Amino acid sequence: MFLALTALVDEPRHGYGIVQEVERLSGGRVQLKIGSLYGVLDRLAGDGLVELDREEVWRGRLRRYYRLTDDGARILEEEAARLAANAAAARSRLRARGLSTRPAGGPA
Amino acid sequence: MTAAESSSTEHLEERVDDSEPVLLERRYRAALRLLPASYRAEREEEMVAAFLEMSGDVPDERGPRPRWGELASVAALAVRVRLGGAGARAAAWGETVRLVALLGLAFQAMLGVYGLVGRAAAAAAHLPTPGAATSPIPVVADVLWIVAFAAAMRGFTGPAKVVAAAAGAVSLLLIGAGPAVQLTLAAPPAALMASVPPLALLAGFHAEAPATVRPWRLLLPPVAATLPLVLLSWAPVPWDSAFEPLLALSSLLSPDGIATVACAVAGIVALRRGWAPSARLALAAAGLLLLAWRLPMAWPVPGAEVLWGPAAVLCGVLVTVIVPLVVTGTRLLPPERRAKPGRAS
C-alpha cells in the first residue's frame, strides 16, 4: 500500500502503470499481481486516499488513471516519517555497536 | 453514464480487429468471472487492459494462458470482494462465513474436550473408554481444535488459521485411516466437518475483516456442554442394556446430539427474535453440516428403530429450522451495490 501510494505522488497513473512504478520503486522486489493491485486500489479508494483522475482509451482499451488525494498524501507523509524514524533508530544502534551503515539507496 | 465513459465505450466498440490476438483476452475474461457481476461491470475492461499490457501481444497460435499467480490473485480478490468488499451485502456474507468458522470450530472444540476428558477419566480409573484409540494422534487433533477455537474467539486469527488448518489435516488423516465401513457412511460428513471450519476461517478473516475479540465467557459453552456427558457416561446407568428409553436417550446424549439441539434452539430464537441475516445463514450452514453428520445415523435399519429413530427425529427438526433460516436470511440480506472506483471531484 505504501509503494502504491508512492507510485502516485508525481503523477496520476493507470493500473499497469502503478504495477510498473511499484516494481521500479522497489528495485524489482515487489511485483504486484493485477488482482492484488485492484484489491489495494479498492481499499485506498474506499479510504479516500486515491481517486479517479480520468479515463483514456489506449490502443482500443480502457485505462483509468488514479491520483493521490490530499488525505492520501498526508497518510503517506506520516507513514514515511514513521519508517524514517525506525530506520534512523536502527542506524543509530548499529553505529553504537561500531558497525558502519550505508547511506540510504546505496549498493546492496 | 459520464461523457468519459460514453467516449470509452465508443472507442472500445471500434477496437474490434480480426487480426488481433483474442485467445488470451478471452481467457482473462473467463478468469474474471470469479468476481461478482457488479464488480466486473465496473472493473472488467480496465483489468483486462492491465492484464494484456502486462502480457504483451502473444499470438493465439502459441496458446497463451494467464499465469497461475495472476489467476490466484483474481481468486483472492474475488473472495475479498464477495466477503468484505464494498457494500453491506458483501459485509453480511463475510460475517456469515466468519460465524460459520466459529460455530464449526466450537463444535470441533466440543468434540475435543469430550475426547480429552473421557480419555483422562478412563486413564485415571484404569478403565477402557469406548472408542478410545491407543494412538496419540486423536489427542493431538483434539488439542489443536481447542487451541484453534480459543485463538479465533480471542482475535488471534493468524495463529488460529495455522492451528485450524493443522487440526483439519490431522482429522482428515484420521478419517482416511478409519475402517472401511466407516469410510462409506460417516467419512464424507466427518471430512466436511473437518474441512469447512479452517476454510471458512481462511476466507472470512481476511485483512479487511473487522478484528473482534470475543469475551472469555463465550469459550465456555463447548466445554460446559460436554462435561455433563462425561459425567453421565460414568454414572451407574446400564446404557448398553436393552432398555429402550435408555438406548434412545444415549443416542441423543452425545456431543453431536447436544450440538444439534443447540443449533435448532438457536435457529428458533433467531427466527423469533429477528436476528441479523448473517446469523440466520450461519446457523443454517451449521445446521446443514450437522444434518450431514447425523444422516448416516438416521438410516432406517429394521428392528433397530430405537437407534435410528431419535437421529431421524433430530434430522427432521434440523430441516424444519434450516429452511426458514435460509429463506428469511437470504431475503433480509441488504441489496447488492455496484462497486464504483473513487471519482475525481
Cell (9 digits) for B286: 451449521
Binary contact (A36, B73; C-beta < 8 A): yes
pLDDT for the residue B14: 46
Lowest mean pLDDT among A5-9, B27-31, B234-238, B281-285: B234-238
Measured in whole angstroms, the distance separating CA B227 from the mean position of its chain's CA atoms is 26
- Mean pLDDT over residues B122-126, rounded? 68
pLDDT over 80 at B46, yes or no: yes
pLDDT for the residue A100: 65
Nearest to A16 among B8, B50, B208 (CB): B50
pLDDT for the residue B97: 92
Burial track A20-36 (b if 16+ CB lie within 10 A, e otherwise): bbbbebeeeeeebbbbb
Binary contact (A52, B77; C-beta < 8 A): no
Higher pLDDT, B33 or B253: B33
pLDDT for the residue B254: 80
Could you give the CA distance from residue B118 to residue B329 in angstroms, rounded to a whole number?
A: 38
Higher pLDDT, B223 or B61: B223
Binary contact (B47, A42; C-beta < 8 A): no
Binary contact (A15, B47; C-beta < 8 A): yes
- Mean pLDDT over residues B35-62, rounded? 85
User: Edge-to-edge, what's the strand order for the sheet holding A61-68?
Assistant: A13-14, A61-68, A50-58
Nearest residue in B to A41, CA atom: B341
pLDDT over 60 at B4, yes or no: no
Binary contact (A62, B8; C-beta < 8 A): yes
Question: pLDDT tens across B275-299, in order?
Answer: 999 999 999 999 999 999 888 877 7
Binary contact (B8, A14; C-beta < 8 A): no
Binary contact (A46, B48; C-beta < 8 A): no
pLDDT over 50 at B186, yes or no: yes
Q: Does A19 touch chain B (CB under 8 A)?
A: yes
Burial track B66-91 (b if 16+ CB lie within 10 A, e otherwise): beeebbebbebbbbbbbbbbbbebbb
User: Domain boundaries in chain B?
Assistant: 92-219, 236-333
CB B79 within 8 A of CB B206: yes
Q: What is the DSSP secondary-structure string of B135-186?
A: SSHHHHHHHHHHHHHHHHHTT-HHHHHHHHHHHHHHHHHHHHTS-HHHHHHT
For chain B, give the percent of residues with pLDDT over 90: 34
pLDDT for the residue B55: 82
pLDDT for the residue B86: 61
Could you give the CA distance from residue B228 to residue A64 in angstroms, rounded to a whole number?
A: 62
pLDDT for the residue A14: 93
Could you give the CA distance from residue B316 to residue A36 in angstroms, rounded to a whole number?
A: 45
Lowest mean pLDDT among A81-95, B129-143, B147-161, B209-223: B129-143
Confidence of residue B340 (pLDDT cuts 50, 70, 90): low
Q: Does A15 touch chain B (CB under 8 A)?
A: yes
Nearest to B344 among A53, A57, A63 (CB): A53
Could you give the CA distance from residue B165 to residue B199 in angstroms, rounded to a whole number?
A: 8
Confidence of residue B238 (pLDDT cuts 50, 70, 90): low
pLDDT over 60 at B313, yes or no: yes
Neighbours of B62 (CB within 10 A): 10
pLDDT for the residue B258: 87
Q: Which of B47, B57, B52, B56 is nearest to B20 (CA)?
A: B57
Please name the residue that has the C-alpha cell 458483501: B90
pLDDT over 60 at A104, yes or no: no
In sequence order, what E strands does chain B have?
none
Confidence of residue B263 (pLDDT cuts 50, 70, 90): very high
Confidence of residue B169 (pLDDT cuts 50, 70, 90): very high
- Mean pLDDT over residues B158-170, rounded? 95
pLDDT for the residue B243: 58
Nearest to A16 among B12, B43, B53 (CB): B53
Distance from CA of A28 to the nearest CA of B (A): 15
CB B325 within 8 A of CB B274: no
Question: pLDDT tens across A22-64, in order?
Answer: 999 999 898 889 999 998 898 888 888 999 999 888 888 888 9
Could you give the CA distance from residue B113 to residue B186 in angstroms, rounded to a whole number?
A: 21
Lowest mean pLDDT among A3-12, B42-51, B95-104, B120-129: B120-129
Lowest mean pLDDT among A54-58, A92-96, B33-37, B177-181: B177-181
Cell (9 digits) for B106: 466450537
Lowest mean pLDDT among A61-70, B119-128, B224-233: B119-128
Most confident of B56-65, B133-142, B199-208: B199-208
Binary contact (B70, A33; C-beta < 8 A): yes
Q: Helix B255-272 vs helix B244-252: angle between axes, to the nearest 10 degrees?
A: 70
Could you give the CA distance from residue B97 to residue B90 in angstroms, rounded to a whole number?
A: 11
Q: Domains (ranges, CATH) in chain A?
A: 2-96 (1.10.10.10)
Strand-pair partners of A55: A64
pLDDT for the residue B115: 87
For chain B, give the percent of residues with pLDDT over 70: 77
pLDDT for the residue B283: 96
Higher pLDDT, B305 or A41: A41
Please name the residue that has the C-alpha cell 482500443: A60
Interface confidence (ipTM) of the complex: 0.82
Lowest mean pLDDT among A93-97, B119-123, B192-196, B197-201: B119-123
Higher pLDDT, B246 or B1: B246
- Chain A, window 29-88: residues with a beta carbon less than 8 angstroms from a chain B beta carbon: 33-39, 41-46, 48, 50-55, 57-64, 66-67
Could you give the CA distance from residue B198 to residue B170 in angstroms, rounded to a whole number?
A: 12
pLDDT for the residue B244: 61
pLDDT for the residue A108: 39
- Chain B, window 57-96: residues with a beta carbon less than 8 angstroms from a chain A beta carbon: 69-70, 72-77, 80-81, 85-86
What's the one-letter identity of residue A65? Y
Could you give the CA distance from residue B312 to residue B20 in angstroms, rounded to a whole number?
A: 62
